[in-house]
Copies of this chain bind each other. A is one copy, B any other.
Amino acid sequence: MEGAIVLLCDIGNTSYHFLEGEHEYKKDAESFEPESIKERVYFISVNTEVSQKLSKLENWVDLSAFVSKEPYYETMGIDRIFALEGLSNAVLVDAGSAITVDVVRDGVFEGGFIYPGIKAMEQTYVKISPALAYSFNFELNLDKMAKNSQDAISYGFLKLLYSEVNSHNLPIILTGGDAKTLHKILKNAEIDNTLIFRAMKKIIKEAKLC
């Protein structure tokens, strides 16, 4: 019966993101104890602290070894590589603690960039000046420059991202924990939060792991 239920886990800087059958759930990266799971878990991780813990647990199988990293760059997060493995023409926007943007055209990875996530950027503005302690206005009219402080930081963060993402003239795929929030600005994007899990299943199948 071992392996009948495939447990997948995508580990980021702040959380473990599980898929068990159709059921998705998250656990806090700092407080969750991976020893508490006894069945086999196929995972990828960008969290070096967690990866170290997991290397000692036999039932946690790291899928990163089963993908060719040659088309990508050395320091690129394994989550980004997995997400891109399933796309052929897209701007992939992964909105988490960082917002990573990657471009695949005709199946070829063109490169990407890394932008701060929503929370990180809000904290940045607060730190610059208490007068900038606002949440971003996601209802902002992107066609007009700002005339108040909240809109001025919102435009700075959101309009610049919007323009760059749209400049590539490719379908936009939004994934990650803040996908729904960013969709208010990237209205033409398609939200897809199963991209990485689909890629993980594909890799498991190809590597005949179960």
Residues of A within 8 A of B (CB): 13, 46, 48, 73-76, 97-98, 100-101, 103, 110-117, 120-121, 123-125, 127-129, 131-132, 144-149, 151-153, 155-157, 159-161, 163-164, 167
Task: Report the minimal beta-carbon distance from A63 to chain B, rounded to whole angstroms.
Answer: 20
Question: Which of A75, A124, A160, A164 has the most C-beta atoms of chain B within 10 angstroms of its own C-beta?
Answer: A160
Nearest neighbor of A127 in chain B, beta-carbon distance: B120
Oligomeric state, in copies: 2
With contacts A116-B128, A125-B116 taken as known, whether A145 is within 8 angstroms of B75 at the C-beta atoms is no
Task: Report the minimal beta-carbon distance from A51 to chain B, rounded to whole angstroms.
Answer: 12
How far, in whole Å, are A75 and B145 apart by their CA atoms in the complex?
A: 15
Task: Report the minimal beta-carbon distance from A147 to chain B, rounded to whole angstroms.
Answer: 5
Give every chain B residue within 8 A of A13 (Cβ-Cβ): 128-129
14 new A-B contacts, CB < 8 A, other than A48-B131, A112-B146, A116-B128, are: A13-B129, A97-B128, A98-B128, A98-B132, A111-B144, A111-B147, A112-B152, A113-B146, A113-B159, A114-B146, A115-B157, A116-B121, A120-B128, A124-B124
The answer to whether A103 and B145 have CB atoms under 8 Å apart is yes
The answer to whether A115 and B148 have CB atoms under 8 Å apart is no
The answer to whether B155 and A163 have CB atoms under 8 Å apart is no
How far, in whole Å, are A99 and B125 apart by their CA atoms in the complex?
A: 11
How far, in whole Å, are A160 and B167 apart by their CA atoms in the complex?
A: 11
4 smallest A-B Cβ distances: which pairs? A111-B145, A113-B155, A160-B160, A113-B156
Give every chain B residue within 8 A of A146 (Cβ-Cβ): 111-114
With contacts A124-B120, A160-B164 taken as known, whether A114 is within 8 angstroms of B153 at the C-beta atoms is yes
